[in-house]
Structure 1
Amino acid sequence: MLIIQRLYIKEFLKVLLILTFGISAVFSIIGLIDKIDDFMPYKPSFNLLMLYTALSIPKYTNYLLPMSILLSSLFIFSQAIKRREIIAIKAATGKMKKVLIPFVIIGIILTSFAFLLGEIIVPTTSKKLHSIKNKIIKKERGLAFKEGTLYIRGKDGSIVRISLYLPDKNISKGVSIFKFDEEGLKERLDAETGLWKDNVWKLKDVTLYDIAKGQIRKIKEAVYPAIESPKIFQEDMWKVEEMTIIEMVKYKQRLDEAGFKNIKLLVDISSRLSYPLINLFMLLLGISLSLGGDFRGHWLLKLISSQKIKEGTLGSGIIAAGLGLLISLVYWFGYSLFLSLGYAGAISPLIAPWVVPIIFAVISVYLYSQIPE
């Protein structure tokens, strides 16, 4: 590896780390400030608040990494253009793309890291974050949720198992309620479905097992007031960011078997795969825009070298930052728009999360291929 390659890689990684974790930390602190009014009545310890802030960082890192990569690449190579280093490199080596090969490898590594971040680290820290929040507000977690199965404690002390819960419809499939006394299990109630209606759970096609009397009864419909309102326990249910792809796929399979189509979940599964890829293409895009790409007039070089900002490096840094933010905003707007179209069913939920990444991929690869040697 050339000395100049090591220098650029070192500078790139340094700027990337500062931007990514610095901005993520700022957003985490802002998130804590937003929650502070809810937390302060419970007088949480300083360590608990700092732990809450630290656990928020991976989530923001996952969101901000593409923008940070773009900003870092634009900044590093715009500085190289300003110092006329790129001209010297071309004169010395003759092959600019050969010099850039390590950055392509770094882009692949960052993409892999982003996938692992979103698939392993973010779900784990999100669950812990939820647990810390409950600990701060001294809320007991009387709920367990996994792949659609829900376990909760009823207000009468009973244990309620819901085989498949549909949050969007407030419908429960396969409801089992276990009642206990001093001697053990006293009564078991199984219902085909449960529907939250008129502020109460209405169970249909109920089978009641009276263990003490040894009797079995069939009931067409029954009201069971001991189960909390969905608004209460939905707060403790896993969110998408707390689930891995495998967990989401298993949940979707259970929904399909029950005859329910969850388009939003399908979009989220597809987006979990498409989102990390943008990191590689943001890196290629930043390099291409800095080094010319298809813009043979080197418009960025002209801006950086203009008389107004010729002295110092602040001007070129501002231009790189402004350009990076603009491109990031365009990407986020387009990505969010197509996700919304996918959620609404206007376009295929499998395709929706891939449209904007593919567009950016085509543009970045084309511009990268056009970098003048």
Structure 2
Amino acid sequence: MNIIDKYILKRYLSTFVVMLLLFIPIGIVIDVSEKINRMLQNKVPFGEIAMYYLDFVIYFANLLFPIFLFLSVIWFTSKLANNTEIIAILSSGISFMRFLRPYLIGATIVSIFALLMGFFIVPKASEGFNSFRYKYLKGNGANKMRQTADVYRQVNDSTFIYVQNFNTNSQTAFNFTLEQFNKDNTLNQKIVANRIKWNEKDSTYTLFNYTTRKVGIDSDIIQTFPKKDTTFTFELEDLTPTVYVAETLTLGDLNNFIEKERARGSGNINTYLVVLYKKYSIPVSAFILTIIAVAVSAMKRRGGMGMNLAIGIGLAFAFVFFDKIFGVMAEKSSIPPLLAVWIPNIAFGILAIYLLRNARR
């Protein structure tokens, strides 16, 4: 690595860090101004507020780091172009691809850091951020943070449960059904109850007005009881799964969770896959956006740095728009999650190749 490489790499990393340090306090100030009244109304302890904003910084820095990186590259590369430093570098016989090398080294460093953050640190921050938000900042947050209506779950290979709705305050589910099947997929037993209540003290369930049906060879055995305390193999989380649970899991836990949910036939499997695939796609976007930023800002323009920043901000918002739209489509439609998550990178990768070819000319 020669002097030019060190010079560009230093500017790349330092400008990116400065961009983060500039925008994160602005984000905190805006967030405080929007939520301070609700925090005061709920008398949130200062320690929890401090932890919330620590999680807030990690959560949003990871979410928006490709945009911050993109704008920082445009910023300092435009300054190099306006000071005719790029012209001097290329005039010395260095090719444009060789000039691009320190940018790719910087993108590699940032991507590896972002990858490790997304695997191990961001999930914990996401858990704290979302828990605080639902607990203190959202009306009826305890119910909104969990799936409480029409929950259908496969507990294991032979057991299925269904509840029409769940009250998180009383920890009671209504219109509960449990079905157990034999190995040949024939029904073995079915339990139906008007209510089922979770007893946290002894980890049992209380069934109210329930009926059991044991399927026999010649006839079925049906029994009805007004109330009964019992245990089941499923957990409370199965009755009322957390909406954002996938975001709070590290890489290994998330893979295991997805396999478990796939075996259960979960209807939210696409949502969980989107979270998994984005852990890999977001770091890759650092390379694509870096190439686009260099190609856009390496040429000295009549409008100066302002024109480059205007183009960069437009492309940044287009990238965020594509990312959000296809993420939602993967969760709500039949589009394969892997394809939907990678479409923004594919589209902007093609744009990066086109702009790079023009910049080399």
Match of 1:348 in 2: 336
Match of 2:89 in 1: 89
User: Structure 2: any 5+ residue segments left out of the alignment?
Assistant: 168-172, 181-188, 200-235
Q: Residue 195 of structure 1 is aligned with which of 160, 163, 166?
A: 163
- Give the conservation status (yes or no) of the 8 Å contact 1:205–1:221: yes
Identify if the C-alpha distance between structure 1 residues 132 and 340 changes in structure 2 by more than 3 Å, giving closer, same or farther: closer
Identify if the C-alpha distance between structure 1 residues 234 and 60 changes in structure 2 by more than 3 Å, giving closer, same or farther: farther
Match of 1:309 in 2: none
Identify if the C-alpha distance between structure 1 residues 33 and 118 changes in structure 2 by more than 3 Å, giving closer, same or farther: farther
Amino acid at match of 1:115: L
State the identity as a percent: 19
TM-score, normalised with respect to structure 1: 0.69
Amino acid at match of 1:239: V
Match of 2:294 in 1: 287
Identify if the C-alpha distance between structure 1 residues 206 and 222 changes in structure 2 by more than 3 Å, giving closer, same or farther: farther
> How much does 1:360 deviate?
1.1
Amino acid at match of 2:163: L
Match of 1:335 in 2: 323
Identify if the C-alpha distance between structure 1 residues 197 and 100 changes in structure 2 by more than 3 Å, giving closer, same or farther: closer
Distance in 1, Cα, partners of 2:48 & 2:166: 39
Q: Residue 204 of structure 1 is aligned with which of 177, 184, 198?
A: 177
Match of 2:34 in 1: 34
Q: Residue 244 of structure 1 is aligned with which of 247, 250, 264?
A: 250
After TM superposition, list the pairs within 5 Å mapping 1:108-187 onto structure 2: 108-129=108-129, 169-174=150-155
- Give the conservation status (yes or no) of the 8 Å contact 1:194–1:204: yes
Identify if the C-alpha distance between structure 1 residues 369 and 112 changes in structure 2 by more than 3 Å, giving closer, same or farther: farther
Amino acid at match of 1:68: F
Match of 2:266 in 1: 260
> How much does 1:282 deviate?
0.7
Q: What's the RMSD between the two structures over aligned residues?
A: 3.6
- Give the conservation status (yes or no) of the 8 Å contact 1:266–1:349: yes
* Bigger shift: residues 87-96 or 326-335: 87-96
Amino acid at match of 2:164: W
Amino acid at match of 1:110: V
Amino acid at match of 2:176: L
> How much does 1:331 deviate?
0.7
Q: Residue 325 of structure 1 is aligned with which of 301, 313, 331?
A: 313
Identify if the C-alpha distance between structure 1 residues 254 and 239 changes in structure 2 by more than 3 Å, giving closer, same or farther: closer
**Residues 1:226 and 2:201 aligned together:** no
Distance in 2, Cα, partners of 1:110 & 1:276: 8
Distance in 2, Cα, partners of 1:97 & 1:342: 36
Q: How many residues align?
A: 302
> How much does 1:168 deviate?
7.0
Amino acid at match of 2:89: I
User: Structure 1: any 5+ residue segments left out of the alignment?
Assistant: 143-164, 176-190, 208-217, 293-299, 305-315
Amino acid at match of 2:13: L
Distance in 1, Cα, partners of 2:271 & 2:332: 8
Match of 2:284 in 1: 277
Distance in 2, Cα, partners of 1:15 & 1:302: 24
Identify if the C-alpha distance between structure 1 residues 166 and 248 changes in structure 2 by more than 3 Å, giving closer, same or farther: farther
Distance in 2, Cα, partners of 1:23 & 1:346: 37
Distance in 1, Cα, partners of 2:330 & 2:154: 26
TM-score, normalised with respect to structure 2: 0.71
> How much does 1:115 deviate?
1.6
- Give the conservation status (yes or no) of the 8 Å contact 1:263–1:345: no
* Bigger shift: residues 331-340 or 38-47: 38-47
